[in-house]
Amino acid sequence: MEFQIEPFVGAGALKFGMSPAQVRSICGDDYVSFKRVPTVAVPHDLFESLGLFVYYNKIGIVEALEFTKPAKPIYKQNNLIALSYAMFQTFLQKDDPILEIEEDSIISHRLGIGAWYPHGADEPGNPAETIIVFEKGYYGENSS
């Protein structure tokens, strides 16, 4: 399934600020709720058949969406999950010259988009394992 990314808005029909019920009405009943970290207030939803994790903030509304295969998170006509570490970095730097670049991840705080590469810089030709799209403030940054 394709998800058109709109920075700081959401992806496709899924928007930041939605309730779990709203998300489930769009994505269906085939999900598992879980806590990736035991201290989170509201469990996350995994729609495995869609390749979608939905993260809710402490008041229970969507704050981030994370995609893995078979999802196709699309930004500017590019399927981000198919891009290699090097290609993702080059592509995002066109819109955000100040990326947060780690050995296994690349995050654009300006766009609210990030990618996780388990082997990252060691295997820069591999595609992303996951793509995350998040609202302003998700990583604690200012909403400038």
91 in the same domain as 59? no
Residue 115 and residue 62 share a domain: no
Residue 16 placed within a domain? yes
Number of domains present in the structure of the chain: 2
Cis amide bond preceding 70, omega within 30 = yes
Residue 75: inside a domain: no
Question: How large is the average pLDDT for residues 69-98?
Answer: 96
Question: pTM for the full model?
Answer: 0.94
Average confidence score pLDDT of the chain:
94
**Alpha-carbon span 24 to 33, nearest angstrom:** 11
Give the pLDDT confidence score for residue 13 in this predicted structure. Answer: 98
The tokens describing 3, both together, are: 């998800």
Same domain, 55 and 96: no
Domain that holds residue 16: 2-67
Torsion, CA 78, CA 124, CA 36, CA 21, rounded to 10: 0
10-34 pLDDT tens trace: 999 999 999 999 999 999 999 999 9
Statement to judge: residues 55 and 91 lie in one domain: no
